[in-house]
Amino acid sequence: MSKIILGVSSSVSIYKSCEIIRSFQEKGYDVQVLMTKNASKFISPLLFKALTGNKVLMDLFNDGVSEDILHVTLAGEAVLFVIAPATANVIGKMASGISDDFLTTFYTAATCPVLVAPAMNEKMFLKGKTQDNIRKLQAAGVRFIEPEKGYLACGDHGYGRLAPVSGIVEEGVLLIRKSRSLKGMTVLVTGGPTREYLDSVRFLTNRSSGKMGFELAGESERRGAKTIFISGPGNLISNPGIKSVAVETAKEMKEQVEKYAGGSDIIIMAAAVCDFKFPKQISGKIKKDSMPLEVKLSRTEDILSEIGKNKGTKVVVGFAAEAKNTEENARKKLVKKNLDIIVANNISKKGIGFESDRNDVTIIHRDGKTIRTGEKSKLEISKIIMDEVEAVIGRKNR
């Protein structure tokens, strides 16, 4: 039986955790409860033990029995970690990497999808620090289910009530399904800019933070795919579940893409590959007086076009950075490069895209189906793109 780990912290809405347990059990899951010490002041662990048939875990060191590695064992078994209700304190600890009880230590060890359902007073929920912590965790792939407006335990009427049990359970089951949807597949994602050097200190590059590729690689990994992320220079922290390959030049990126493309089922070229290079890279630093002011450039190879030529049954996704006629130009690139999907970016929109966590893209399929995402976080956009990739896989397998 698949195991769901339910983290319970000290909010008045803790009584709803019992219903969450029952609903997951009705769907065939085994539930293991982890409680904070304060939560046990509201409800005795005995009730959760009676409901689940599993001993409730609270401390790392209990009854002289070594539970200190149990979090690692459990992490290997869990298909989902739900924290409901989640207090501001638990969210803060998770965001800061504090692991001082079983629940927070388990989060640090967990590799399964994580769903957090906050419940607290409205002022606490809307506080800048709480929102910062939520954003930080969202950026790390944690899914949040927003609290509702209504009567709060403190007597206030406001935002902060635990989301409905049915919503939490549905979202949890969806996360589990998604976390397996690409199991058995290999996904190759590229991201970031490339650099084409003139000498050892000067280079030509494209504006790109690499965040879009990074989010796509993360989403692919969360869906269970073996994921390879080939990225140009950037300062994104790598995810231990993803094979990361760092490159600098378009030539290096091409070599690495070719190395992994054969074994990949899905290739997503989100990298902003520099189209031009200097005829030859000079080692050392050219003295400015000896540098001619006109430099001849040559073209780098188009990696995606090469992939498109021999794509076979692979699903190939390209990006298009366009300053005008975005969708029309993107469609032309889709045909020219023989792609299944192209993601069109209108680079003239201010405040999104480059170096931003947000974007607004149009996803165009080969058959013309077009999805306009509207402005969203790159994480959300990566999910929409991966859903569309899965739709192509579904069509190919029909």
Among 39, 319, 334, 359, binds ligand CTP (CB under 6 A): 319
Residue choice 30, 199, 252, 302 for contact with ligand CTP (CB under 6 A): 302
Paired with 231 in beta bridges are: 191, 246
Among 78, 117, 185, 250, binds ligand CTP (CB under 6 A): 250
Q: Which residues pair with 143 in a beta bridge?
A: 115
According to CB under 6 A, which one of 87, 133, 264, 300 is a site residue for ligand CTP? 300
Map residues 195-234 to x or -, x wherever contact with ligand CTP holds by CB under 6 A: ----------------------------------------
Q: Closer CB to ligand CTP, residue 112 or residue 271?
A: 271
> Is 154 considered catalytic here?
yes
SS3 277: strand
Q: Which amino acid is at 256?
A: Q
Q: Does 320 bind ligand CTP (CB under 6 A)?
A: yes
Binding residue for ligand CTP (CB under 6 A) from 318, 340, 359, 361? Answer: 318
Among 168, 321, 381, 392, binds ligand CTP (CB under 6 A): 321
The helix (run of H) or strand (run of E) holding residue 362 is strand 361-365
Could you tell me the CA-to-CA distances from 132 to 139, 325, 365 in Å, in that order? 11, 37, 36
With 0-12 CB in 10 A as exposed, 13-18 as middle and 19+ as buried, what is 297?
middle
Per CB under 6 A, which region of 17-25, 128-136, 166-174, 295-303 contacts ligand CTP?
Answer: 295-303
What type of residue is 384? I
Q: Which is nearer to ligand CTP, 75 or 304 (CB)?
A: 304
Beta bridge partners of 93: none
Q: Does residue 349 sit in helix, strand or coil? A: coil
Rounded Cα distance, 326 and 306, in Å: 23
Q: Confirm if 382 and 215 have CB atoms less than 8 A apart.
A: yes
Binding to ligand CTP, residues 11-50 (CB under 6 A): none
Q: Around Cβ 147, how many Cβ atoms within 10 Å?
A: 23
Tell me the site size for ligand CTP, rule CB under 6 A.
Answer: 14
- Among 32, 34, 30, 31, which Cα is nearest to 8's? 34
Give me the least distance between CB of 218 and ligand CTP, in Å please.
18
236/320 with CB nearer ligand CTP: 320
Binding site for ligand CTP (CB under 6 A): 250, 269, 271, 273, 275, 300, 302-304, 318-321, 333
Active site residues: 154
